[in-house]
Structure 1
Amino acid sequence: MTNLSAFLAQNAIKPDSQERVVSKRFVDPETKEPMKWQIVAVDSDRDEALRKQNTKRLPVPGKKNVFQPTTDYDAYLATLAVECTVFPNLHDVDLQNSYKVMGAEALLKKMLLPGEYAEYLKVVQNANGFDVGMDEAVEEAKN
């Protein structure tokens, strides 16, 4: 017989926050070791809200008053990355001012090199349980 108590909220194992070195360019001034970023997962409700926030209704060519929802996958991943980043605080005004940007998404893109940014997006997706490759994820987001 199965034990349904394993599925009760209080018995579910909560996902741990992860610490990762995202870039070796950010080092602790005292230890000279690369700084670790802290990443947490979001729940499915929050993920759905982030997807909706980055979805637009675009008109279908040739069909009057017919619209199709289209998710801006790059914007969604940027928003998800910001939402999951606990440390450093990407909403910190002083940190944004030091890079001369406004907004956490702009800060994240300015702080990281393109390869670092792409790798960080993969880390964030993995932290949230997405184990699909980028091509599969793009196709899934389109549908």
Structure 2
Amino acid sequence: MSKFSSFMKGNVKQTETVKLKLERFEEPIELRPLTAGEADKINEKCFVNKPGIKGRPERVFDVVKYNRGINTASIVYPDLNDVELQESYGVRGAENLFSELFYLGEASQILEKVTEISGIGGNINEDIEEAKN
């Protein structure tokens, strides 16, 4: 057996979805962690060209679009691609539905949970203190 067998796809623990209860809804939403590859694809879509110095185009990163993208990609339930759900809010597309369905504070709660379950949440200073002890 190879020395890195625990990293083989068949040996990696599968992550489960996480439920997040938002006050306005009777049912919790379900979230899944995102892979680095999924985050990279979302990241690449979030750059826009804007006029810069002397009219030269500059690539600018849209943080709001990125956060909306990772939130939308991580939601398993409700299915934001469901046409009936989109029609009930008068929108088309998962990201447009996300914008209409959730309040700003709820979107922040979702983002916080997504970053936590995807392994990018937490405080670096806490990690440093833990490593010292």
TM-score, normalised to structure 1, is: 0.73
Of residues 123, 131, 136 in structure 1, which corresponds to 2:121?
131
RMSD (CA atoms): 2.2
Instruction: Give the letter for the 1:7 counterpart.
Output: F
Query: 2:80, 2:63 → 1: CA distance?
Result: 20
**1:87-124 superposed Cα distances (whole Å, 9 cap, x missing partner):** 00111111111112222112112122221121111112
Deviation at 1:59, TM superposition (A): 4.2
DSSP 3-state at the match of 1:42: coil
Q: 5+ residue gaps in structure 2?
A: 124-133
Structure 1: which 5+ residue stretches go unaligned?
28-34, 134-143
- Matched positions, count: 122
Query: Which 4+ stretches in 1 moved above 3 angstroms?
Result: 57-60
Q: Which of 85, 102, 112 is matched with 1:122 structurally?
A: 112
Query: Match for 2:78 among 66, 79, 88?
Result: 88
- 1:8: how far off? 2.4
- Find the residue that maps to 1:45 and give its secondary structure: helix
SS in 1 for 2:53: coil
Q: Pick from 21, 28, 37 the counterpart of residue 29 of structure 2.
A: 37
- Larger helix proportion, structure 1 or 2? 2
Taking a change above 3 Å as real, the CA distance of residues 132 and 58 of structure 1, as seen in their structure-2 partners, is farther
Please tell me whether residue 49 in structure 1 is matched to residue 41 in structure 2: yes
In the alignment, the residues of structure 2 paired with residue 113 and residue 45 of structure 1 have an alpha-carbon distance, to the nearest angstrom, of: 28
**Shift of the alpha carbon at 1:132?**
5.2
The whole-number CA distance in structure 2 between the counterparts of 1:68 and 1:75 is 17
